[in-house]
Amino acid sequence: MTTAAVRVRGLTREFTRRRAQPRLALDAVDLTVEEGEVHGLLGPNGAGKTTLCKILSTVLLPTSGTALVNGFDVVRETKQVRQGIGIVFGGERGLYTRLTARQNLMYWSALYQQPTRVAKARVAELLERMGLLERADDAVETFSRGMKQRLHLARGLIGDPRTLLLDEPTVGMDPVAARDFRSLVAELRGEGRSILITTHDMAEAESVCDKVSLIDGGKVIGTESPRTIGGWMSKYERVRAQGVPEEVRAKLRALPGVSEVRVEDDEEVLVSVDAEGAAARVLRTLVDAGVSAVSTSRPSLEEVYLHVIGDRGLAVR
């Protein structure tokens, strides 16, 4: 039997706050990331994603419940946990910006207890792999956001970890950089590493994960296949149109699968749907009526959660 990369049971974390009610950031969370799996943790801001990552990376203690990483307990066996994980979080921070990329990596390789000879080779290999070799000896403060993030990932890989914890790694990246980053994640999966990646982006969850757990208000609502997430994105798609006459609006409202037709301030009409194929019907109706200023957009995560939770008869929060 193989040990799961991450095994979390009944994990709860409460934050006490000055002059305020304590906040329950995680509420009896159960989660399993199998070995070799890319597991997405999808949830809006404040859902508890970072709190979970912090507990798994041993920088935060749980209030109750258990969490094992690579089979080791994050409270009692911190040493073993730390040796087996790599951590990457999004944003600009977490690097020594005055040092060069190579100096950053050599420094961390010493902290991950690698012999100098091994470290030199590994650092060169990681720089090459992340496309940073040419800038290896430049100060990190001169790097673009995408480069910093790739260096961050290289840093996370320095100890050759079995399990990677990626906390919103693509936040703030431009689309091209984010796509490159995702293909790196896919490569890492190919090497047999287990990955927990948090995100609030459904498209990201769909494109890189083997499984996706939904988290909101500190609770895991369920675990789905990325296909299902993709299905929701089209099922709950939104259509925007301008210059829609009143009788056409009425027609739209009468279409099956249309949940709402809202008129925004600037006379823009926003159509929400909640059935497969309904968005296509809306588009056809608009085009047939001669409306040409039409665009579609993805639903927000919050909207999808409202639908999903509603459909399952679960209470929100």
Partner 1 sequence: MRNTARVLRYAFASAMADLRATYTWKSWGLAWLLRMLFQVTLFAFIGKLIGDPRVVEYLVIGNSVFITADVVMLVCASTSWERMSGTLPLLVASPAAPFTVFTGRSAQWLLDGLACSTISLLVLPPFLGVQLPLGTRLAVVPLIAVIAVSVYFFGLVLGGLALRAMAARNLIGRVGSIGLMLLTGVQVPVSFWPTPLESLAQLLPLTHGLGAVRAALGNGSASDVLRGIALEVVVGVGWALVAAFTYWRLTASGRRDGTIEFGG
Q: Residue 155 binds which one of Mg ion, ligand ADP, partner 1, none, with CB within 5 to 8 A depending on kind?
A: partner 1
Q: Residue 116 binds which one of ligand ADP, partner 1, Mg ion, none, with CB within 5 to 8 A depending on kind?
A: partner 1
- Asked if 96 is part of the footprint of ligand ADP (rule: CB under 6 A), the reply reads no
Name the strand (E) or helix (H) holding 205.
Answer: helix 202-208
Contacts of range 63-67, beta carbons closer than 8 Å, 24 or more positions apart? 63/12, 63/13, 63/14, 64/10, 64/11, 64/12, 65/8, 65/9, 65/10, 65/11, 65/12, 65/28, 65/29, 66/7, 66/8, 66/9, 66/10, 66/11, 67/6, 67/7, 67/8, 67/9, 67/11
Name every residue whose Cβ is closer than 8 Å to that of residue 219 and which is 6 or more positions away in sequence. 27, 28, 29, 48
AA letter at 274 = D
Which neighbouring-strand residues pair with 139? 100
CB of 211 to ligand ADP, least distance (A): 18
Q: Residue 113 binds which one of partner 1, ligand ADP, Mg ion, none, with CB within 5 to 8 A depending on kind?
A: partner 1
Q: Which stretch binds partner 1 (CB under 8 A): 50-58, 202-210, 220-228, 277-285?
A: 50-58
- Please give the Cα distance from 43 to 302 (Å, whole number): 8
Of 54 and 235, CB closest to partner 1: 54
- Please give the Cα distance from 70 to 267 (Å, whole number): 55
- Please give the Cα distance from 54 to 75 (Å, whole number): 12
- Asked if 121 is part of the footprint of partner 1 (rule: CB under 8 A), the reply reads no
Q: Which stretch binds Mg ion (CB under 5 A): 18-26, 46-54, 97-105, 116-124?
A: 46-54
Q: CB neighbours (10 Å) of residue 192?
A: 9
Of 6 and 279, CB closest to ligand ADP: 6
Residue from 5, 31, 42, 49 binding ligand ADP (CB under 6 A) = 49
Residue from 3, 12, 66, 103 binding partner 1 (CB under 8 A) = 103
CB of 196 to ligand ADP, least distance (A): 13
**Residue 89 contacts residue 59 (beta carbons within 8 Å):** no
Q: Indicate the residue whose CB is closest to Mg ion.
A: 50
Residue from 40, 48, 90, 218 binding partner 1 (CB under 8 A) = 90
Q: Residue 112 binds which one of ligand ADP, Mg ion, partner 1, none, with CB within 5 to 8 A depending on kind?
A: partner 1
- Please give the Cα distance from 280 to 59 (Å, whole number): 48
Residue from 155, 162, 200, 238 binding partner 1 (CB under 8 A) = 155
CB of 50 to partner 1, least distance (A): 5
Q: Residue 98 binds which one of Mg ion, ligand ADP, partner 1, none, with CB within 5 to 8 A depending on kind?
A: partner 1
Q: Which stretch binds Mg ion (CB under 5 A): 1-9, 43-51, 112-120, 243-251?
A: 43-51
Which neighbouring-strand residues pair with 87? 165
- Please give the Cα distance from 32 to 265 (Å, whole number): 46
Binding-site ranges for Mg ion (CB under 5 A): 49-50
Binding site for ligand ADP (CB under 6 A): 15, 17, 23, 25, 43, 45-51
